[in-house]
């Protein structure tokens, strides 16, 4: 039975200190970064838990005073229980928030999703136990007892209280270990301050465990939080903890000031093109070590203000082009050596965008677009890069509109059979006409659709329209044996592709034999097993496959051994070289002969002249595709062409 008189004055002071520190934090940082928001929550939970506990302690002390005076207690026990539960609920969030704060500081939160699901699960379990305590009494409960003819209540701990202590110690100990382990990538003094907070909290918990009525734990941790707020939260919050360059928030303030006042400044945006890949495939400590060394080097050769804008985007500022060129000359040479520890060097692949204010950029939005977009160019001026990025964004919006409005166009390029002496098939080609941008070249929109993933719905729309052509016009009656439909590497890497295409086929009365899918060799690079499985499923149902662009890039006869292709399509570049070189011409002849000898049908792309067709016919080519017979045609023109043929 607990009949203590709680000394809660320390907690009152803790509430005041925590709230005061929170106000300072808001005033100094404007809460513009994730780490500042999380630390703000640490302060708020400390203040709230202290306030709830003070109210509970006052109510409980009232019971004790009334018991000692021998008078009946008028304290509302449900209210007391609620305040105690609210205190425990909020108080147990504080160690977890501090743990997340530490991990944000060391940069772990971006690549450790599963780890954080597990750690947050522990907190959720404890909070659930607290919330359900009125029913379970697992954490605490109040025991009624009789004295002097009156009924009083004593506060008792259940077994669950030790689980809450264990949870707090786990979060704090793990945060302590991480702070010490990653001390080299933390700003100077961070590891010591983290250690000081955790030790202070631990001392407070231990004291309170042995001197139960001395409520000093939150007072000690509030003092530690206040010290941290005044120290590194105010002095270092403008810098990235790993690179020690000014952070994104500082950069935005800097650029806003320059744009508003039209300051004449020179900027260089450095995009570490392989940063995402390194983050996904390398140890975070190795990437951080490389970033840290890069930051140290930049600060050492600094000619101006330097900013780390996250995700591998670094911005350098200069007063003039001379300073810019001197620093970049040194940096480009140093980049060749790699960065990191002695045991692990990491090479960054930088791309540079040169920018002059106020001539080339007039708004903060445009500047941040340059910083944040995954721009693939290099060495361009800011205006050129910005135009390129904006154009890509506009094309992507046009792709979205075409998909949403079912307005993707399908053009058909006829394919000539040398054996049958007629047009017997065609290749379906996606085209986009946008009311805002006009006709967009596939050379432009296909790569954008691939990068954004929109190639999947775009390709499905093309497939659906090809099937509709068979349904509505019965083009097989015009001598069309099949239509070639392109599949992108992204489509054939999608495990749900077969099911998705089945659902489209179900809407049409078209035999699979009328469809010949085209894929390129690049489709097999990432997951050849999956691609082969998808191919086999389609082939078993009656579809056929062509290997497109053979003879370029990734050409490998290994694919011919394992994959069941019906047609091999030779790239236009092979024919072009054969027209100018006797050796290339012989190579083309023997390539056709070999492919036919192992039972492949062979198609030559890019045939533009009569002499090319005549030579290819002599070589035994099966099919010819190119402008010599026809350019790609819109549907109506293609139908008219086939009727005339």
Residues 110-147 have pLDDT tens digits of 445 566 677 788 889 999 999 999 889 898 877 777 76
Q: What is the pLDDT averaged over residues 207-212?
A: 71
In sequence order, what are the beta bridge partners of 567?
Answer: 546, 601
Confidence of residue 558 (pLDDT cuts 50, 70, 90): low
d(CA 377, CA 393) in angstroms, rounded, equals: 15
Confidence of residue 178 (pLDDT cuts 50, 70, 90): confident
What residues contact 136, with CB distance under 8 A and at least 6 apart?
129, 160
What does the block give as tokens for 34?
A: 């994730």
Higher per-residue pLDDT: 63 or 642: 642
Evaluate if residue 269 carries a pLDDT over 80. Answer: yes
Pairing of strands 544-550, 515-520: parallel
Q: What is the pLDDT averaged over residues 626-635?
A: 95
Buried b (16+ CB within 10 A) or exposed e, 495-525: eebeeebeeebeebebebebbbbbbbbebbe
Q: What is the pLDDT averaged over residues 301-329?
A: 87
Percent of the chain with pLDDT over 90: 36
Which of 273, 8, 308 is CA-nearest to residue 187?
308
Q: What is the pLDDT of residue 187?
A: 56
Q: What is the pLDDT averaged over residues 458-480?
A: 93
Q: What is the pLDDT averaged over residues 85-100?
A: 90
Higher per-residue pLDDT: 304 or 200: 200
d(CA 182, CA 283) in angstroms, rounded, equals: 13
Q: What is the pLDDT of residue 1?
A: 40
- 8 Å CB contact between 287 and 279: yes
What residues contact 520, with CB distance under 8 A and at least 6 apart?
489, 547, 548, 549, 554
What residues contact 568, with CB distance under 8 A and at least 6 apart?
546, 547, 550, 560, 595, 600, 601, 602, 603
Reported residue count of the chain is 645
Task: Mark out the alpha helices in 231-357 (DSSP H runs).
Answer: 232-235, 248-261, 275-281, 284-300, 321-335
d(CA 348, CA 354) in angstroms, rounded, equals: 19
What residues contact 550, with CB distance under 8 A and at least 6 apart?
521, 568, 569, 570, 571
Confidence of residue 213 (pLDDT cuts 50, 70, 90): low
What does the block give as tokens for 585?
A: 């011409």
Helix axes 160-181, 113-131, angle to 10 degrees: 150
Q: What is the pLDDT of residue 297?
A: 93
Q: What is the pLDDT averaged over residues 98-121?
A: 70
- 8 Å CB contact between 616 and 607: yes
d(CA 455, CA 449) in angstroms, rounded, equals: 5
Task: Mark out the alpha helices in 30-112 (DSSP H runs).
Answer: 34-69, 77-91, 93-106
**Among 124-128, 206-210, 229-233, 532-536, which is the least confidently predicted range?**
229-233
Confidence of residue 404 (pLDDT cuts 50, 70, 90): very high
Q: What is the pLDDT of residue 394?
A: 92
Q: What's the mean per-residue pLDDT of the chain?
A: 85
Confidence of residue 375 (pLDDT cuts 50, 70, 90): low
Could you tell me the residue ranges of all domains in the chain? 9-235, 248-378, 408-644
Higher per-residue pLDDT: 269 or 556: 269
Q: Which residue in this structure is represented by tokens 């078209």? A: 510
Order of all β-strands in the sheet with 313-318: 306-308, 313-318, 265-272, 350-357, 380-381
d(CA 545, CA 484) in angstroms, rounded, equals: 9
Q: What is the pLDDT of residue 184?
A: 63
Evaluate if residue 611 carries a pLDDT over 70. Answer: yes
Q: What is the pLDDT averaged over residues 165-176?
A: 88
DSSP per residue over 544-612, as a string? EEEEEEETSTT--THHHHHS--SEEEEPHHHHHHHHH-HHHHHHHHHHHHHHHHTT-EEEE----SHHH
d(CA 287, CA 185) in angstroms, rounded, equals: 10
Per-residue pLDDT tens over the stretch 27-55? 877 776 777 889 999 999 999 998 998 88
Evaluate if residue 544 carries a pLDDT over 50. Answer: yes
Helix axes 382-404, 364-372, angle to 10 degrees: 80
d(CA 129, CA 132) in angstroms, rounded, equals: 5
The CATH number, out of the four listed (3.30.1240.10, 3.40.50.300, 3.40.50.970, 3.20.20.450), of the domain defined by the range 408-644: 3.20.20.450
Helix axes 34-69, 77-91, angle to 10 degrees: 150
Q: Which residue in this structure is represented by tokens 């202070």? A: 200
Evaluate if residue 343 carries a pLDDT over 60. Answer: yes
**Among 369-383, 409-423, 577-591, which is the least confidently predicted range?**
369-383
- 8 Å CB contact between 43 and 22: yes
Q: What is the pLDDT of residue 546?
A: 93
- 8 Å CB contact between 80 and 56: yes
Q: What is the pLDDT of residue 405?
A: 96
User: SS3 for 409?
Assistant: strand
pTM (2 decimals)? Answer: 0.55
Per-residue pLDDT tens over the stretch 483-511? 999 999 889 888 889 999 999 999 998 99
- 8 Å CB contact between 431 and 439: yes
Q: What is the pLDDT of residue 4?
A: 53
d(CA 170, CA 205) in angstroms, rounded, equals: 13
The CATH number of domain 9-235 is 1.20.1070? yes
In sequence order, what are the beta bridge partners of 155?
Answer: 142
The CATH number, out of the four listed (3.30.450.20, 3.30.70.270, 3.40.50.920, 3.40.50.970), of the domain defined by the range 248-378: 3.30.70.270
d(CA 601, CA 622) in angstroms, rounded, equals: 6
Q: Determine how many CB atoms are found less than 10 A away from the CB of residue 404.
A: 9
**Among 137-151, 296-310, 373-387, which is the least confidently predicted range?**
373-387
Q: What is the 3-state secondary structure (H, E, C) of 442-480?
A: HHHHHHHHHHHCCHHHHHHHHHHHHHHHHHHHCHHHHCC
Evaluate if residue 555 carries a pLDDT over 60. Answer: no
Evaluate if residue 68 carries a pLDDT over 80. Answer: no
Evaluate if residue 237 carries a pLDDT over 70. Answer: no
Q: What is the pLDDT of residue 119?
A: 74
User: SS3 for 128?
Assistant: helix
Q: What is the pLDDT of residue 110?
A: 42
């Amino acid at each position: 039975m607990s009949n203590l008189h709680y000394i809660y004055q320390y907690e009152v002071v803790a509430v005041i200190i925590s709230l005061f520190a929170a106000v300072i934090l808001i005033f100094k940082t404007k809460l513009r970064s994730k780490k500042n928001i999380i630390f703000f929550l640490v302060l708020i939970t400390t203040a709230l838990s202290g306030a709830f506990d003070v109210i509970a302690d006052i109510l409980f002390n009232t019971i004790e005073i009334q018991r000692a005076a021998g008078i009946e207690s008028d304290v509302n026990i449900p209210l007391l229980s609620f305040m105690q539960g609210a205190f425990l609920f909020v108080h147990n969030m504080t160690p977890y928030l501090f743990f997340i704060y530490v991990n944000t500081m060391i940069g772990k939160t971006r690549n450790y999703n599963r780890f954080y699901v597990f750690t947050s699960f522990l907190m959720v379990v404890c909070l659930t136990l607290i919330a359900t305590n009125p029913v379970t009494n697992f954490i605490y409960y109040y025991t009624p007892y009789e004295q002097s003819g009156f009924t009083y209540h004593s506060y008792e701990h259940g077994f669950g209280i030790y689980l809450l202590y264990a949870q707090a110690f786990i979060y704090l100990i793990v945060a302590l270990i991480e702070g010490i382990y990653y001390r080299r990538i933390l700003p100077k003094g961070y590891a010591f301050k983290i250690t000081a907070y955790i030790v202070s909290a631990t001392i407070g918990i231990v004291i309170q465990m042995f001197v139960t009525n001395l409520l000093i734990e939150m007072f000690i941790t509030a003092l530690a939080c206040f010290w941290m707020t005044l120290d590194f939260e105010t002095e270092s919050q403008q810098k990235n903890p790993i690179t020690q360059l000014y952070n994104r928030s500082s950069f935005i303030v800097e650029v806003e000031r320059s744009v508003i006042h039209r300051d004449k400044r020179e900027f260089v945006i450095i995009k570490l093109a392989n940063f995402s890949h390194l983050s996904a495939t390398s140890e975070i400590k190795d990437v951080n070590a490389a970033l840290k060394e890069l930051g140290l080097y930049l600060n050492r050769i600094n000619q101006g203000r330097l900013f780390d804008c996250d995700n591998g985007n670094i911005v350098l500022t200069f007063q003039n082009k001379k300073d810019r060129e001197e620093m970049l000359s040194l940096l480009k040479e140093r980049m060749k050596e790699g960065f990191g520890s002695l045991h692990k060097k990491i090479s960054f692949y930088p791309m540079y965008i040169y920018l002059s204010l106020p001539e080339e950029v007039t708004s903060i939005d445009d500047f941040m677009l340059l910083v944040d977009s995954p721009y693939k160019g290099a060495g361009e001026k800011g205006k050129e890069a910005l135009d390129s990025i904006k154009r890509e964004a506009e094309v992507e919006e046009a792709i979205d509109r075409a998909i949403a409005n079912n307005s993707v166009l399908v053009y058909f390029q006829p394919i000539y059979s040398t054996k049958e002496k007629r047009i017997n098939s065609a290749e379906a080609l996606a085209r986009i006409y946008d009311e805002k941008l006009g006709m967009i070249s596939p050379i432009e929109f296909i790569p954008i659709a691939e990068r954004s993933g929109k190639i999947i719905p775009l390709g499905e729309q093309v497939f659906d329209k090809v099937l509709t052509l068979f349904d509505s016009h019965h083009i097989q009656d015009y001598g069309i044996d099949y239509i070639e439909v392109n599949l992108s590497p992204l489509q054939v890497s999608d495990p749900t592709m077969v099911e998705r295409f089945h659902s489209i086929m179900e809407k049409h009365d078209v035999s699979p034999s009328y469809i010949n899918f085209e894929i390129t060799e690049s489709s097999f690079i990432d997951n050849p097993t999956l691609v082969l499985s998808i191919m086999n499923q389609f082939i078993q149902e009656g579809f056929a496959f062509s290997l497109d662009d053979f003879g370029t890039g990734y050409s490998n006869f290994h694919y011919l051994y394992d994959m069941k292709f019906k047609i091999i399509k030779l790239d236009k570049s092979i024919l072009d070289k054969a027209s100018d070189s006797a050796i290339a011409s012989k190579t083309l002849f023997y390539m056709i002969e070999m492919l036919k000898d192992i039972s492949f049908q062979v198609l030559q792309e890019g045939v533009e002249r009569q002499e090319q067709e005549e030579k290819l016919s002599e070589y035994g080519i099966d099919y010819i595709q190119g402008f010599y017979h026809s350019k790609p045609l819109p549907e109506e023109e293609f139908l008219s062409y086939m009727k005339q043929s």
